[in-house]
A and B are shown apart, each in its own frame.
Chain A
Amino acid sequence: MKVVVDMNKCQDHGQCVFAAPDVFSMDDDGRLVYVSDPDDALRDEVEEAADVCPLQAIRIEG
């Protein structure tokens, strides 16, 4: 599974961090960082993260 976040859209709401803390986190400056090739076992939580993104900036490929 490949995760792509459109950083032009992302506004650092952080909702994805609650949904998938193993994949998304905020750095010390409050900016999003994420794992771009998470294990497939995390698919459900990544899909949840994509759903709850206010800017709909998260895309899951494969």
Chain B
Amino acid sequence: MTGRVVVAGASMGGLRAAEQLRTAGWTGAITVVGDEPHMPYNRPPLSKEVLAGKAPFASLAFTPKAAAADVEWRLGTKAVAARLAERTVVLDDGSQLPYDGLVVATGMRPRRLRCPGPLAGRHTVRTLADAQGLRDELTRPGVRVVVVGAGFIGCEVAATAAGLGVREVTVVDPLALPMVGPLGELLARALLKRHEERGVRFALGTGVAGFEGEERVTGVVLSDGRVLPADVVVESVGSVANTEWLDGNGLDLADGVLTDGQLRVGGRPEVVAVGDVARFPNARYDGVSRRVEHWSIPTDTAKHAARTLAAHLGGSDVDLAPFAPLPTFWSDQHDFRLQSFGAPALGLGDVRVLDGDPDGDVLVGYHADGRLVGVVALGGQSAAMGAARYRAQLLKQPALTA
């Protein structure tokens, strides 16, 4: 096979796509383009072990597979435009990369709060540089921390900050409970209690109206009028898809890049998308296209998309079964872990305790039409293993639409 596949995005999804293209038999050139100066690295520890200083930054680097040793890495540069009809990607240094196949792997960036106030002292957690900067501030003596957003990253960062012994840490969220979106009320309530018992404060049911301070932030003004003194602010309020470079190609970019059930983009067999930027239908569930920001998704999507793309480029458009990953996520906070299999968010209307009780180790089942669609464990290692016992059952279930 000759020709070139360009992979736009050099994080986990880009790396896995390059590796899986080799596994799928693509022997032509592969060029991976990424805006960060680093080779791909593992991000989850940025809000946990690495932020806590328990693991060095250098420990995050992925070890690329030997089969991908001849991949060309163009780091510190990014795709700024694409002309899909001409099969060309334009980079920020002005160069143009023609391709035979394109993998969209540009991921997400943190959403920022737009309310008034100084920027200095306000952090996000997405990149190595972000985590290094935040760690420097959290380890100053006596800092008061406000975390805006009680999702995965916000709850993890708050737990890490508490563990580092900061003077105080408060989590702000407009919703009434932390992580209530992905977990539902029962577990979110249990989570809140655990955080509070470990010294994390919460300001729930209120948003942020602005930031106080001249040069740098000194306080967070809540929409209910209260002001929380703050030396460090962490904004964990969701993310924005990096798709601007794909503008002008007639694609559906309303939330990430829309794909078909084989992860192809815009009806073009030579363009696929992987990772959290891909909005794909999951044949296991209801066929609704969604972006999924769980850690397992870059690997799952890369494997499937590479097969799709390699088959097309090799001239053998095989009939692959539609993409149907079993979602899984975990989150480590303080001394406990959340471990999920399946799609709890699709079963929030019918939540049942399957084992244990919410004050201790607990396993919760999420149901749609009376059928189990997801499980989440909260607690220690044995609780997480309890969730794993339901994995096979969730895998075997027929599609929700069946």
A interface list, Cβ under 8 A from B:
9, 11-15, 17-18, 26, 30, 47, 51-52, 54-56, 59
Contacts and interface: CB of A to CB of B under 8 A. Distances in A.
B314 to A, nearest CB: 20
B65 interface: yes
B63 A54 contact: no
B88 interface: no
Contact of B381 (A15, A17, A30, A47): A30
Contacts of A59: 63
B319 to A, nearest CB: 22
B62 A56 contact: yes
B65 A54 contact: no
A30 B385 contact: yes
Contacts of B27: none
B385 A54 contact: no
B65 A47 contact: yes
Contacts of B62: 56
Given A47-B65, A54-B44, A12 B16 contact: no
Interface residues of B, number: 22
Nearest to B59: A9
Interface of B: 16, 42, 44-45, 55, 59, 62-63, 65, 295-296, 299, 328, 330, 332, 339, 381-382, 384-385, 388, 391
Contact of B16 (A9, A15, A18, A51): A51
A14 B388 contact: yes
A30 B295 CA distance: 22
A30 B382 contact: yes
B307 to A, nearest CB: 14
A47 B44 CA distance: 20
A23 to B, nearest CB: 17
Contacts of B296: 52
B391 A18 contact: yes
A17 B45 CA distance: 21
Nearest to B383: A30
Nearest to B328: A15
A18 B388 CA distance: 9
A56 B42 contact: yes
B299 A52 contact: yes
B326 to A, nearest CB: 10
A54 B59 contact: no
B284 to A, nearest CB: 16
Contact of B385 (A14, A47, A52): A14
A44 to B, nearest CB: 9
Contacts of A30: 381-382, 385
A17 B296 CA distance: 15
20 contacts: A9-B59, A12-B381, A12-B384, A13-B339, A13-B384, A14-B384, A14-B385, A14-B388, A18-B388, A18-B391, A30-B381, A47-B65, A51-B16, A51-B299, A52-B296, A52-B299, A54-B44, A54-B295, A54-B330, A55-B45
Contacts of A54: 44, 295, 330
A18 B55 CA distance: 26
A12 B382 CA distance: 10
A13 B65 CA distance: 22
